[in-house]
Structure 1
Amino acid sequence: MAQAKKGDTVLINFIGRMEDGSIMDSTYPEEKQSECGCGDGAEHNCGDDGDCCQDTGPFEIVIGEGDFYIPVEEELVGMQVGEKKTVTISPDDAFGDYNPENVFSVERSEFPDDIDPVVGMGLEVTGEDDELYMVTVIEVTDEQITLDTNHPLAGETLTYEVELAEIV
């Protein structure tokens, strides 16, 4: 039976978990529904398009091109179709360490009037360098709003259960 090698285009299925065991990404429909709240009568966490539950099925990558987490791509080498592996990914190979210097506060008066910030809200802001940055609101007071530019998964060790579905 053929084994995957560097440079191969492959299809993989996976479940990505955070350190606490919660699912943060998956190609399996039932896991994807669990992740975003689809099908349980709850409000969806699918984003504006409400489409996360349909975004399932095998994920295509080219091994060695950095299409996915490098440790996962490395583990795919030598796998056969149908084989499964569990791969642990350190913060260095994912979203980096959490950096407290990426947290800052702005005066409430500097915040646009048409935005009612709440903890957990994601926003796009323009930095002093005119670059766009994604931030998360982490604290709101009458005087200030505290924002975090760290990726929401910064500092997390991730675990991926990966199945090689097909060598294309």
Structure 2
Amino acid sequence: MTKAKTGDIVSINYSGRLTDGTPFDSSEGRAPLEFKLGQGQVIKGLEAHVAGMEVGEKSTVTIPCDEAYGQRREEAVQQLDRSKIPSGMELAVGSQLQARTSDGGLLPIVVVGLDEQSVTVDANHPLAGQDLVFDVEVVDVKAA
């Protein structure tokens, strides 16, 4: 059988959980996740783990946070003056917003606190700082 290698299109079924067993994502009930190995389309640790696997192969891997979504960065939590938020926008803790970056891209942020004068937002990925456990099954490998 063909082993997945850089440049191949790989399809996997997966389920992801935190090290305490809390599930955070799964392909169950959806089409398999398809990505091109070596393109950074999935987290680094998952991509590295799938490289070399064959169709039908199943495995479990624990990916350290540095090979997933990185460490939590306290500088990614910022307090904004409420006047910088468009008027009429309904805000609550947990609201998901997007901020424009200096290069024109969009950055997802979450409201983590608010009062009359300010809004505190967090730009960290929700899984930042977490080691992740994946159960993986390679469903298909299309050669480059």
TM-score higher than 0.5 = yes
Percent identity between the aligned chains?
A: 36
Asked if 1 retains the 8 angstrom alpha-carbon contact of 2:69 and 2:128, the reply is yes
Match of 2:27 in 1: 27
RMSD: 2.1
Asked if 2 retains the 8 angstrom alpha-carbon contact of 1:3 and 1:77, the reply is no
- Specify whether residues 134 and 64 from structure 1 end up closer, same or farther in structure 2 by C-alpha distance, changes over 3 A only: closer
Q: Deviations over 1:121-148 (max 9, x none)?
A: 1111235x36443211000112221111
Alpha-carbon distance, 1:154 to partner: 1.3
Identify unmatched segments of 5+ residues in structure 1: 30-55
Match of 2:32 in 1: 58
- Specify whether residues 68 and 96 from structure 1 end up closer, same or farther in structure 2 by C-alpha distance, changes over 3 A only: same
* Selected match of 1:160 from 134, 138, 141: 134
Higher helix share: 1
Please report the TM-score for the alignment, with normalisation by the length of structure 2: 0.82
Distance (Å, rounded) in 2 between the aligned partners of 1:68 and 1:108:
35
Distance (Å, rounded) in 2 between the aligned partners of 1:157 and 1:139:
26
What's the secondary structure of 1:118's corresponding residue? coil
Alpha-carbon distance, 1:3 to partner: 4.0
**Greater length-normalized contact order (CA 8 Å, ≥ 6 residues apart):** 2
Please report the TM-score for the alignment, with normalisation by the length of structure 1: 0.72
Asked if 1 retains the 8 angstrom alpha-carbon contact of 2:4 and 2:54, the reply is no
Higher strand share: 2
Distance (Å, rounded) in 2 between the aligned partners of 1:111 and 1:79:
48
Identify unmatched segments of 5+ residues in structure 2: none
Alpha-carbon distance, 1:152 to partner: 1.6
* Residues 107-118 of structure 1 aligned to structure 2 (within 5 Å): 107-118=81-92
How many equivalent pairs are there? Answer: 140
